[in-house]
Amino acid sequence: MTQSEIGLIGLGTMGAMLALNIAEKGFAIAVWNRTTEVTQRFVANAGDLAPRITATQSLAELVRSLKAPRAIILMVPAGQPVDDQIAALTPLLDEGDMIIDAGNANFRDTNRRAQDAAKGGPQFLGIGVSGGEEGARHGPSIMGGGRAQDWARIEPVLQAIAAKYEGTPCATLMGEAGAGHFVKTVHNGIEYADMQMIAEVYGVMRDGMSMPAAAISGLFDGWNKGPLQSYLIEISAAVTAVVDQKTNRPIVDVILDRAGQKGTGRWTAIEAQHLSAPIPVIEAAVMARNTSARLEERLKGEARFGAAPQTLPEGALMPQDLEAAMIAGKILCYAQGFALISAASDEFGWALPLPEIAKVWREGCIIRSAMLNDMAQALAEEPGRNLIFAPFFADHLEKSHKALRKLVAQAALCGLPLPALASGLAWFDMMRTGRSTANMIQAQRDFFGAHGFERIDGGADHHGPWALQGG
């Protein structure tokens, strides 16, 4: 039997497309899927690429059909299925063979699996893959984690299948162990926030300005030619333009407003809390998905308190205000996301390459956008600096934050909820307040818990005279 260069387990949405992408780039690939009929159907539909694909019916056959040292990609749901596959493969593998988890793993699981590899198990890489079905088929963005020598073995395949930004493959080793999956998790957190901010502005146009979906689509389309140019704005223009064949209404108007999630946004928020890294825009986006899921409660709220959204006064907001506000929101959100990555890099000793992360996100992934190229440049100038202080983005914010304030204020007066955009604005205002209100927090903490405080005229661990006053 001719042996394949690489193996892949899990022919679902992503795995099937990745396997075709790998075969198309000239690599012979062997595949295995838990349900054998799926494998058979996959190969039957592989067309011209079928000769480069070996369908296998068992893990032992998959392993036998691979050249040593072997490299096997897992594309199965995160968590237990990954551990189960590693456990099933391990006895079949030889020294030097490698397992690559390409699903959306929690980076803490990837750290654990990398530790098991270091103790003598199969070599292990954790790679985050973004781009959805289309990206997997024609060029995803790939964020790697693991040992440099393991990455080097698989790098030619990953760089061949990855998206290219002006010829540069969007596939980079981010650092050791779970570093790649951590970066992918934050990518997804930013994705939640980007989507939420778009949905919020859509809501202002729909409910506050009574704009039909087709007009909203036209605006998104226009924004996609300016600083907001991005895949998510592009698809938002596309989905608002589509008409439902059954009802002849815009399809967005017949889609139930209950958002799903698989947990990567939540992981981002949890890790940010562990790291004390402020990412309010992403946290608000996760909260918004959770609240959207509570449809029955929301309906009860509307019945009890009356519907929140009201029409905005005529001329209160212009389309250019919305675009400028979105620009400000996007900068604030990404500044928070990169600051979280920077905090994780310090905490876990990863030396994460921030400019390279921005570069890897320029093509292939769901958050790809024109602005990421500017972010890559700003981060290359001074990687440790918060993006809001990079001159290019500081100038943008100076111009656009007033529109964000106008939007948030007008929306609040009219009951239009903008959790992500409003929390971005609140964070921005906190970041430009030299004298905050935390002195009050410190006084309260000292009053009830004798926690002590610093004085503005110097010295730490002072206490107030509360006890004397009966506190």
Residues that bind ligand NDP (CB under 6 A): 10-15, 33-35, 38, 75-78, 81, 84-85, 103-104, 129-130, 132, 262
What's the min distance (Å) between Cβ of 294 and ligand NDP? 24
**75 vs 205 by CB, closer to ligand NDP:** 75
DSSP string, 31-56: EE-SSHHHHHHHHHT-GGGGGGEEE-
**128 vs 227 by CB, closer to ligand NDP:** 128
Q: What angle do helix axes 319-348 and 213-223 make, rounded to 10 degrees?
A: 60
Residue 188 annotated as part of some ligand binding site: yes
Residue 289 annotated as part of some ligand binding site: yes
| Residue 418 near residue 285, CB atoms below 8 Å | no
Distance separating alpha carbons of residues 52 and 33, to the nearest angstrom: 17
**132 vs 464 by CB, closer to ligand NDP:** 132
**81 vs 415 by CB, closer to ligand NDP:** 81
Tokens of 312: 């905005």
Give the nearest residue (CB) to ligand NDP: 12
**111 vs 342 by CB, closer to ligand NDP:** 111
What's the min distance (Å) between Cβ of 263 and ligand NDP? 9
**Catalytic positions:** 184, 191
Residue 41 annotated as part of some ligand binding site: no
Residue 10 annotated as part of some ligand binding site: yes
Tokens of 18: 């990745």
What's the min distance (Å) between Cβ of 158 and ligand NDP? 15
The strand pair at 53-55 and 29-32 is best described as parallel
Residue 329 annotated as part of some ligand binding site: no
**262 vs 274 by CB, closer to ligand NDP:** 262
Residue 230 annotated as part of some ligand binding site: no
What's the min distance (Å) between Cβ of 319 and ligand NDP? 31
Q: Helices (DSSP H) in 316-437: which residue ranges?
A: 319-348, 354-360, 371-381, 391-413, 419-431
What's the min distance (Å) between Cβ of 235 and ligand NDP? 13
Residue 132 annotated as part of some ligand binding site: yes
What's the min distance (Å) between Cβ of 144 and ligand NDP? 14
Tokens of 169: 């493959």
Distance separating alpha carbons of residues 99 and 90, to the nearest angstrom: 9
Q: Please list, residue by residue across 254-278, b when 16 or more beta carbons sit within 10 angstroms of its beta carbon and e when fewer do.
A: eeeeebeeeebbbbbbebbeebebb
Tokens of 150: 């393991």
Residue 25 annotated as part of some ligand binding site: no
Tokens of 412: 């609040």
Distance separating alpha carbons of residues 160 and 6, to the nearest angstrom: 13
**78 vs 158 by CB, closer to ligand NDP:** 78
- Partners of residue 9 on adjacent β-strands: 32, 74
Residue count of the chain? 471
Backbone angles phi and psi of 316, in degrees to 5? -60, -35
Instruction: Count CA atoms within 13 Å of residue 435 on its CB side.
Output: 2
**131 vs 278 by CB, closer to ligand NDP:** 131
Residue 373 annotated as part of some ligand binding site: no
Containing H/E element for 179?
Answer: helix 179-203
CA nearest 195: which of 311, 80, 329, 56?
Answer: 329
Tokens of 186: 């934050």
Residue 349 annotated as part of some ligand binding site: no
Distance separating alpha carbons of residues 463 and 471, to the nearest angstrom: 12
What's the min distance (Å) between Cβ of 63 and ligand NDP? 15
Tokens of 287: 């909260």
Distance separating alpha carbons of residues 145 and 101, to the nearest angstrom: 10
What's the min distance (Å) between Cβ of 42 and ligand NDP? 9
Q: Which amino acid is located at 215 in the chain?
A: A
- Report the binding-site residues: 10-15, 33-35, 76-78, 104, 130-132, 187-188, 192, 262, 289, 445, 451
Binding-site residues from annotation for substrate:
104, 130-132, 187-188, 192, 262, 289, 445, 451
